[in-house]
Amino acid sequence: MSKTVLQGIPVSAGIAIGKTYFLNRGSSTSTIRMNIDDEHVHQETARLKQAFSLALADLEKIRKKIPKELKEQTAIIDSHIMILKDKKFQNSARDYVREKMINAEWALEKAESDIESAFIKIEDEYIRERVQDVRLVANRVKSQLYGQPADIRSLTQRMILLAADLSPADTIELQLDKIMAFATISGGKTSHAGIIARSLQIPAIVGVEDLSELQDGHLVILDGFNGRIIVDPDEDDLDHYSQLRYQFAEYQSLVNRDCYLPAETIDGYKVKVFANIELFEEVAAVIDNGGEGIGLYRTEYSFLNRETLPVEDELFEEYRDLASIIFPNRVVIRTLDLGADKIATQFGPVREINPALGLRAVRFCRKHPELFKTQLRAILRASVLGNVSIMFPMISGVEELLEIKKIFYSVRNELKTKRVDFDPVMPMGIMIELPSAVLISDLLAREVDFFSIGTNDLIQYSLGIDRTNKHVSYLYQPLHPSILRSIKYVIDAGHEAGIEVSLCGEVAADPYCVPILMGMQIDSISLNPQAIPGIKRIIRQATMDEFKELLKRVLESEDVQESNRLVREMIFTRFPEELMFYTSLIEE
């Protein structure tokens, strides 16, 4: 391949120069029909048989680990086990191999589509919908046929990882001694893969259309600032990007020098700058980058990639250690935001047509009250030092919040009866990330001690765009008038009620958006630790008057393009040297 440039969406800044490695390539490409000759028939039927038994063994293993109280999940798995055990499916695929002389993968697809057509004709809607189960089971067998996911551990040198998709669970498994950057075919501006890449400080790009055409071992430059992959670069590219990589490292060490100074404007307006973290290990990065505490601890990540659910003591120790390391600064522990793309496999396969609108966050917790109460007990027990706050995600209305509070207080009373210590005045907050919560933020404010605006989801749910979908990524506009009005409305409602308002979406790490938040007089922001020094620096070099003037002009503007232009102009004029080192959610 001669020099080619692939374009995607930049989600984590930085430059990586290295060789490519495509993770689990087979499953990302569609099935291909291959005609086989007589001598391969036995081999293909044997492969099919093995794939069916491996898929069955896998499911039986998962079933054993499901706690007894989760009967519904067990029932789903049981039905999948039944489909796998029913020899009709397997025999039909085997007969296709023998009669049509085709490869196992294609035969499996044919057998699957026969069953699907039979199901579709069934009148009973419930039974008809079970076709979904057949698909899920067939996918399990397929992934066995394609081979187990490639093992990153077998890599002998650091590579640039390419993948069709990386789930939040995959991303936290990335080993930095093996992976220097990554790019995926799917994903949007605030997909969790990008959030983790920023935490790990590795460059990353998502939504790259033609990625699967790249063979393993290609030399590429991954430009995480502009979302470009330069395949087979020439000498000039290598020189240019090596220099840019060096300049970025220099810039980082320059801004890091002042990272412990407060985020205070020239005219004395101070904002607190906290950190978002996903894993306990990131606490060191919070301290190293001048974070003034943890504004968002995404606790669900400790539930991913493990076979069993953590027990209360394990969670308690994790939260207690975090609180004591960060003391006297505060840590906001967000209760589980499982669901949507953050799937805890301990609950079996998920069957939701619209998972982002389904059993996620507090809804998931209400469905699994024992799990929720275990976490609440652990948080309360870890609060004794007095620097822990609790925060509930995805609150949609007052009744829902009251229900959650009821569960919280019942757990608290239970601990009190048992004479277990906890902080009796632990602050309680909620994420404002649904449009419904924005519009009733005055009512919600009466019930809590603080708000944290989650723009990643607020933009997704307000503008009706899946945050992980690259096809609608162009509509992901933080400066859309509806988003700006929503943020302002929440800040004003919070202040009116005398409570603190923070913002912890990716907007808080975006140099083009922070001036707007400052103009709205946000009390604190929370962002990935690595972005803290740069954002603090911008705040320290400007005045509140400047921020307010920019906000006024942006609020007066009626379209996003104009708002984008206004904020770009300010940053271009005031902070020209910062520009090349940031990725932004704002379109050019």
Sign of the four-CA dihedral 503, 507, 509, 510: negative
Q: CA angle at residue 469 from 467 to 475, to 5 degrees? A: 65
Binding partner of 282, given ligand PEP, Mg ion, none, CB within 5-8 angstroms per partner class? none
Q: Which helix (H) or strand (E) holds 554?
A: helix 544-556
Identified catalytic residue from 80, 218, 365, 504:
504
Structure tokens, 352? 């939701």
Based on CB atoms, which residue is closest to ligand PEP, 169 or 504? 504
Nearest approach, Cβ of residue 394 and ligand PEP (Å): 8
- Which of 303, 193, 286 shows the shortest CA–CA distance to 527? 286
Helix/strand/coil for 228:
strand
C-alpha distances in Å from residue 496, one per residue of 47, 391, 500: 67, 20, 10
Binding partner of 505, given ligand PEP, Mg ion, none, CB within 5-8 angstroms per partner class? ligand PEP
Based on CB atoms, which residue is closest to ligand PEP, 144 or 456? 456
Rounded distance between C-alpha atoms, residue 43 and residue 103, angstroms: 9
Identified catalytic residue from 80, 192, 218, 368:
192
- Whether residue 20 contacts residue 220, with contact meaning beta carbons closer than 8 Å, is answered with yes
Structure tokens, 204? 């990353």
Residues that bind ligand PEP (CB under 6 A): 296, 298, 337, 433, 454-457, 504-505
Based on CB atoms, which residue is closest to Mg ion, 338 or 380? 338
Residue number with the smallest Cβ distance to ligand PEP: 454
Binding partner of 12, given Mg ion, ligand PEP, none, CB within 5-8 angstroms per partner class? none
Nearest approach, Cβ of residue 433 and Mg ion (Å): 5
In the block, residue with structure tokens 């008038």: 481
Nearest approach, Cβ of residue 361 and ligand PEP (Å): 8
**Residue type at 388?**
V
Helix axes 38-65, 71-85, angle to 10 degrees: 160
Residues that bind Mg ion (CB under 5 A): 433, 454, 457
Nearest approach, Cβ of residue 198 and ligand PEP (Å): 12
Nearest approach, Cβ of residue 146 and Mg ion (Å): 33
- Whether residue 109 contacts residue 115, with contact meaning beta carbons closer than 8 Å, is answered with no
Q: Which helix (H) or strand (E) holds 6?
A: strand 4-7
Nearest approach, Cβ of residue 457 and Mg ion (Å): 4
CB half-sphere exposure, 378, CA atoms < 13 A: 24
In the block, residue with structure tokens 């992980």: 468
Helix/strand/coil for 526:
strand
Strands (E), 509-584: 524-527
Nearest approach, Cβ of residue 565 and Mg ion (Å): 28
Based on CB atoms, which residue is closest to ligand PEP, 452 or 563? 452
- Which of 227, 201, 275 shows the shortest CA–CA distance to 529? 275
- Whether residue 90 contacts residue 115, with contact meaning beta carbons closer than 8 Å, is answered with no
Rounded distance between C-alpha atoms, residue 417 and residue 323, angstroms: 24
Binding partner of 298, given ligand PEP, Mg ion, none, CB within 5-8 angstroms per partner class? ligand PEP
Give every CB contact of residue 346 below 8 A, 6+ residues apart in sequence. Answer: 65, 66, 67, 303, 306, 307, 308, 309
Based on CB atoms, which residue is closest to ligand PEP, 298 or 368? 298
Structure tokens, 28? 């990302």
Binding partner of 434, given ligand PEP, Mg ion, none, CB within 5-8 angstroms per partner class? none
Known active-site residue 259? no
Q: What is the largest CA-CA distance in the chain?
A: 83
C-alpha distances in Å from residue 145, one per residue of 30, 132, 260: 13, 20, 53
Based on CB atoms, which residue is closest to Mg ion, 211 or 504? 504
Nearest approach, Cβ of residue 337 and ligand PEP (Å): 6
Known active-site residue 192? yes
Based on CB atoms, which residue is closest to ligand PEP, 52 or 512? 512
Nearest approach, Cβ of residue 273 and Mg ion (Å): 19
160-174 as b/e: b if 16+ CB within 10 A: bbbbbbbbbbbbbeb
Based on CB atoms, which residue is closest to Mg ion, 296 or 315? 296
Strands (E), 436-569: 450-453, 500-503, 524-527
In the block, residue with structure tokens 């994420």: 431
Binding partner of 184, given Mg ion, ligand PEP, none, CB within 5-8 angstroms per partner class? none
Based on CB atoms, which residue is closest to ligand PEP, 332 or 371? 332
Helix/strand/coil for 9:
strand
Catalytic sites, residue numbers: 192, 504
